[in-house]
Chains A and B, each alone.
Chain A
Amino acid sequence: MASFLSSSSPASSSADLNAKREAIMNGVRQEIALANAQELMNKANERCFAKCVTKPGDTLSNAEQTCLSRCLDRYLEAFNIVSRTYTQRLARERTSDIQ
């Protein structure tokens, strides 16, 4: 049935290695991107829970949900502001080091 799966024709070895190299690099990139997204979500979760759910009730109230979505948006914005400021500073320090 799944004969097409096992019919791996021996491809030329250089193309094979090339594909392997690409696969390794993409795997690393993906893992890092995933870890990054998880970190961001965890931190936003913690911060926004602290800010928006001050007295946990039976369910998340509408007001809490509104607060949470705004908070998440603002957290991502804060991340971008910090990222921009930091990279600009690094670039500045680097050029002043050269001089």
Chain B
Amino acid sequence: MEKFDEATQKELASFLEKEQAQAKLHSSIHHFTTLCWDKCITGTPSTRFSRGEESCLANCVERFLDTSLFMVKRIELQREQAQFSGVGA
């Protein structure tokens, strides 16, 4: 069996990396969609979203990401404080 030359192997590797990143992005979008659907769409589905539902979906994604950043900051802060009190003790 013939082998790909080095340039082609590299090309395929970077192609796979890109596709993997894309797949990861998609899986997050699937996750957010279910999360925010459950939060925002409480009534029986109609022929179109109400204004409130649509903005709730967009806000839901933004606030979820804010939450995730907030949590990281919070943990960092707590760890810092624990370090300082550790030095003081």
Contacts and interface: CB of A to CB of B under 8 A. Distances in A.
Nearest to B57: A81
Contacts, number: 93
B34 interface: yes
Contacts of A78: 33, 36-37, 40-41, 49, 57
Interface string B73-84: 000000000000
A86 B61 contact: yes
B22 to A, nearest CB: 7
Q: What is the interface of chain A mostly: helix, strand, loop, or mixed?
A: helix
A45 to B, nearest CB: 12
Interface residues of A, number: 35
Contacts of B41: 51, 74, 78
A86 B46 contact: no
A89 B65 contact: yes
B28 interface: yes
Contact of B61 (A29, A43, A74, A89): A89
Interface string A56-97: 000000000001001101110111011101110100000000
Nearest to A40: B30
Most chain A CB within a 10 A radius of its CB, from B5, B12, B29:
B29
Given A17-B8, A21-B4, A78-B33, A28 B16 contact: yes
A43 B49 CA distance: 19
Contact of B57 (A36, A43, A52, A82): A82
Interface of A: 13, 16-17, 20-21, 24-25, 28-29, 32, 35-36, 39-40, 43, 47-48, 51-52, 67, 70-71, 73-75, 77-79, 81-83, 85-87, 89
6 contacts: A32-B19, A51-B45, A70-B45, A74-B41, A78-B33, A86-B28
